[in-house]
Amino acid sequence: METLREAAHPLRNLSLRWKRLCSARAVLRVIISAVICASFALSAQQPPTDAQPADRVYRNGVVFTADANHTNAEALAIREGKIVYVGANQGVAAFIGPSTQVVDLGAAFLMPGLIDGHMHPLEAGAQLLKCSLNYEPLTMGEFQRRIQACLDKSNSKEPDAWMEVVSWFQESMRPAGTKTSRATLDALKTKRPIIVRSSFGHTVLANSRALALAKITASTPDPIGGKIWRDASGEPTGLLEDAAHAVFATLVPQATAEENVTAAKAALRAMNRQGVTGFLDAAAAEEDIVAFTAVRRAGELTARGHFAPVIRPSEANDPHAAVARVVALGKKYDEGKITRDPSISVRNAKMFLDGVIAAPAFTGAMREPYFTNQGTSENPHWAPGPSRGPAVYFPPEALATILVDLSRNGIDPHMHADGDGAVHAGLDGVQALRKAMPGADVRPAIAHDEIVDPVDFPRYKQLGTTAVLSMQWEKPAGDTMGLRDYFGPERMKILEPARLLAAAGAPIAFGSDWPVDRLDEWFALKVGVTRTNAPDAPAEFRGRLGDDPGLSADAVLRAATINAAYELHDDAMVGSLEVGKLADLIVVDRNPLKIPPEDIAKTQVVETVVGGKVVYQASSSPQ
C-alpha cells in the first residue's frame, strides 16, 4: 500500500526520498565531524614530531590559559623563555629531557601573570620607607599620636626637616564626618613643617609652618586643576587638593637617585610576591623611568615596566608642545618591542580630567550636582546643591587635540576620570580621536570610572575604550558609603559600575592604583566578584555595594591578565598562555574559579615566572 501511495503522489515520494537522503548525509556529517574533532583533540595532546626538550615543564595542574577559546589544560612547557606546549599531561612528556626541570603542580592552579594596568610603583616603594598611617581608619587622637610617634623617632631632625606622612585614609577618619585642619597638626610637639598625604593622592593636609614655607595665604588663588580649602575668614585651612599642593614638590627634599633605585627594587619585590609580572606606572615622572631603567640595566627588573608621563592641565594652552615632551621621553627611554627579558616601555601618556568624588574633597567632575543638606542636622533634607565639582581639567578642544596628537605619535592615552562628567568628557575626546583617525590601532583607557552616566555605558565599546577599574573600591567602605547623602539613592545604585559596564560591552582591565591602597591584588579581585568588604569590616561596611551584581571570577582574572595586556599593547606576546607567547605566569595555591568567591582574597602566590625565569618562589612552591 505504501508503494502505491508513493506512486500515486510523486511529489510526496520525492519529499520522502529527499528526507532519507538528508538523514543519511547528516549521519555522515556527524561521523566525519567526530573524526575531525578526535584528530584535533589528539593533535592538541601530542607534541610536534620535532619537539625538543623544554627548559621547564609544569604538569598535573589546572591551567587557566585566558585565551580567546577559554581553553583548559593540564600541562605547559617553556623553552628559551617562550611557551612551546599547552595541553594535556600525556602530550607534555615528549618535552621532558635530562635537563628539563619538571614541576608537579599537584592540582595547583597555573595562570598568566597578573598585569596591573594602573599603579604608581616608585611612589609606593618609597612609601615603604616613610612615616605611614597604613590606610587605617583612625580617630583624631590616633591620627595625632601616630604622627607624633614618627616625630619622636626622628627628633634629631628638629626644627627644620620636613616630615612627610603617607597612606592617610582620609575618608575613613572616625567617627564619620571627622574634619582635620592645620590646627590638627599644629597641636603636635614639633616645630617642623609637616605634610600628610591622603592615600588617594589628591589631598594634602599641611601644618601652619608648611603653609608659610609654601607661601600659601588667604590671597593665594586656586591654581588650575586644584583647590585651597578656606575657613569662613578666607584663611587656608591646611587642606589642599590636586595642583594646589604641587608646590611641595619644590620644597620637600627629593629622593636621591640611589634612594629611587632602592624604592623601585622594593616595589618589584612586593609585586612579584603578589604575582604581578607587568605594570603601568600611570603618572610617571622622568625620575621614575630613570630608576627602573637603572634596575633594568643591572639585570634586576622582574616585571615588564610601562610608563605614562603626565600631561598637566596647565599645558592645555600648548597641547602640541605637551605631546612633543612625552614623545621625547619615549625616544629617550623606550626599549622597543618586548622580549624575553623585562624591559622599559614608554607608549602611554596620562591626563587627569578631574580629582576624586569622595568626601570631603568632591573634586570629581559630575554631570549632576552633589547633594547638600538643606535642612538641619536634626532634620536633614538632602537635595541637589549648587556644585557639580570642578570643571573638567582639560577644555574639550585641547583634550581632543592632545588625544589625536598622541595617537599620531604611537602613544596610547590614559585618562583619570572619577566623576561621570569627567568620564563623559573623556569619551567625547576619544570620539574626536576616532573621527580623526578611523581604523587606527589606538587603545585609549579611562581609569577609575567610579560613577558613569548610563548613557555612556555603551560608548566604551563603540569607541574602543578600556575601563581600567580599581576593583577594591567596589565595596561598602568609608569612601563609598560616605557618598550616600551627597549622591542620593539613584547614583548610589550604580556606584562602581563594573558589571554594568561589562554588560554593555566595555573592555574591562584591572589597575590597583597602589599606593592609593595597599597592594593586595587578590583582595581586589575578590571584591570585583563579591562587591563586599573583608569579613572583619565594621558593621556599617558589611553587605554588598549598590545594585551592580559584580563580575564573574573568570572576568576578573581576564581583566588582570589578557585585558590589561591588550590595554598596554602587549597582548600579542603576554597576557594568556599560548604557544609562541612569552612565559609570564604564576602558580597559586587554589583555583579561583572553583572556590567560594570570598576565598579568592586568601589566594597565595607560590611562584612567579617572567620570560621563563622564576622571580619569586614561596617556600611551599611545588617542586
DSSP per residue, 348-363 = EEEEE-----STTT--
C-alpha distances out from residue 100 to 23, 75, 96, 141, 221, Å: 52, 14, 6, 59, 67
CATH of domain 123-250: 3.10.310.70
- Determine the pLDDT at residue 50: 54
Rounded alpha-carbon distances, angstroms, from residue 214 to 39, 199, 217, 355, 435 = 73, 21, 9, 22, 44
Q: What is the pTM of this model?
A: 0.82
Query: Rounded to whole angstroms, how far apart are CA atoms 126 and 261?
Result: 10
**Helix ranges restricted to H, 445-585:** 459-462, 478-481, 484-487, 489-493, 498-503, 521-530, 553-559, 562-567
SS3 content of the chain, % helix, strand, coil (to 5): 40, 20, 40
Q: Is 67 exposed, middle or buried (0-12, 13-18, 19+ CB in 10 A)?
A: middle
pLDDT score for 174: 87
- Interior CA angle at 581 toward 580 and 586, to 5°? 135
Q: Is 246 exposed, middle or buried (0-12, 13-18, 19+ CB in 10 A)?
A: middle
Contact between 244 and 223 under an 8 Å Cβ cutoff? The reply is yes
* Residue 218 to residue 233: CA distance in whole angstroms: 8
435 by Cβ neighbours in 10 Å (0-12 / 13-18 / 19+) ranks as exposed
Query: For residue 614, with 0-12 CB atoms within 10 Å meaning exposed, 13-18 middle and 19 or more buried, which class applies?
Result: middle
Nearest Cα neighbor of 441 from 280, 306, 572, 312 is 572
Residue-range domain boundaries for the chain: 56-107, 123-250
Q: Which CATH number fits domain 56-107: 1.10.274.10, 2.30.40.10, 2.60.40.10, 3.40.50.300?
A: 2.30.40.10
- In angstroms, the CA 601 to CA 587 distance is 15
- Cα separations (Å) of 281 from 259, 291, 450? 18, 12, 20
Where are the strands (E) in 1-61, listed by range?
A: 56-59
**CB-based contact 264:305 (threshold 8 Å):** no
Q: For 450, which DSSP code?
A: -
CA distance 48 to 88: 14
Q: Kindly provide the b/e burial profile for residues 100-111, where b requires at least 16 CB atoms within 10 angstroms of the residue's own CB.
A: bebbebeebbbb
Decide if 422 contacts 453 (C-beta within 8 A).
no
Please, are residues 311 and 351 in contact by the beta-carbon 8 Å criterion? yes
**pLDDT computed for residue 331 by the predictor:** 98
Buried b (16+ CB within 10 A) or exposed e, 153-182: eeeeeeeeebbbbbbbbbbbbeeeebebbb
- What is the C-alpha to C-alpha distance for residues 438 and 541, in angstroms, rounded to an integer? 46
Residue-level pLDDT at 15: 38
The three cell numbers of residue 565 are: 595586556
What residue ranges of the chain have pLDDT lower than 50?
Answer: 1-47, 49, 621-623
pLDDT tens digits for range 376-415: 989 999 999 999 999 999 999 999 999 999 999 999 999 9
Rounded CA separation 80/98 (Å): 16
Cell 608646590 belongs to residue? 247
Q: What is the reported pLDDT for 199?
A: 81
Q: What angle do CA 407, 411, 412 make, to 5 degrees?
A: 85
Q: Hey, what amino acid is at 446? A: I
Burial zone of 224 (CB within 10 Å; 0-12 exposed, 13-18 middle, 19+ buried): middle
